[in-house]
Amino acid sequence: MKYKQYLPTYSHTFQEYSGWLTVETEHYIFYYTKGSEAEKDIEHIKERQEQAFQKIVTELKVPVLGQKITYYFYPTPELKTELMGDDWFAQSIYGEFCIHVLYTLQDKPIGEHEDTHLLTLPWGISINFLQEGLAEYMVGHNWYGEPHDECVREGIAKGYELSPSKILTEKDWLDTPQDGAVYFYALAGEWIKYLIETFGLEVFKKLYTECTREETAETIRKKYQKHTGKSIEELEEDFSQKLAIYSK
């Protein structure tokens, strides 16, 4: 299977790097470097990812493809940039079924998020808001460990426009403010929780699969209506009420 991904600086130097240590588990292959934080934590990492894998395939009922997920752990942003072209914390590469992670004493971005992107590929690549939301829903909290609903309420109080009906296309998602990223990811996670709990996994799955990156705002609206029987504004109203009730 081939998947389109926009990674202009992506490099495969990591494949020729001689400094890797490696270990395999039932569903993963991990690469890490000697003396690194990842090496220290490797037993925990193995356990944590196998647990994430089980959670994702069990809760989302995705078919298990039999291919192992490969993780590359980089100890510094410099080495990550040198070996794969980018210093961002975590990226999953769809076509290669691998994940590149900057793993340091301060930042240890492991768990369900990137694995959800890879393991749900049989459902196709959905619009960003649903795709990131599904990954965050599987994590179950924001990246500081706080509940998504609390994080969304905090973002609203700070004045961010946290409105699912306004985040439809890829452009809408990319246009959300960078300084509010934690709130928008939390909103996406909470939105997916609402959709799955209200309409069930099967309905959600159809909506997710049909809302491809090629859809326009208008056709995405129609998909929401088709699968849930409600307009996205009605859904958002219901969602907001539930979110407000939880706060009391």
Residues that bind Zn ion (CB under 5 A): 132, 135
Per the structure block, which two tokens stand in for 32?
């890490």
Least spacing, CB of residue 211 vs Zn ion, in Å: 16
Enumerate long-range contacts of 90-95, CB under 8 Å, 24 or more apart. 90/114, 91/7, 92/117, 92/118, 93/5, 93/7, 93/10, 94/3, 94/5, 94/118, 94/121, 94/125, 95/1, 95/2, 95/3, 95/5
Least spacing, CB of residue 116 vs Zn ion, in Å: 8
Q: Residue 175 or residue 202: which is nearer to Zn ion going by CB?
A: 175
Block residue for tokens 């939105």: 191
Q: Residue 5 or residue 241: which is nearer to Zn ion going by CB?
A: 5
Distance CA 143, CA 182 (A): 7
Per the structure block, which two tokens stand in for 180?
């509010």
Q: Residue 135 or residue 196: which is nearer to Zn ion going by CB?
A: 135
Q: Residue 192 or residue 228: which is nearer to Zn ion going by CB?
A: 192
Distance CA 2, CA 114 (A): 18
Least spacing, CB of residue 70 vs Zn ion, in Å: 17
Q: Residue 132 or residue 149: which is nearer to Zn ion going by CB?
A: 132
Least spacing, CB of residue 117 vs Zn ion, in Å: 6
Least spacing, CB of residue 78 vs Zn ion, in Å: 23
CA distances from 65 to 82, 110, 121, 152, 210 (A): 31, 21, 10, 35, 21
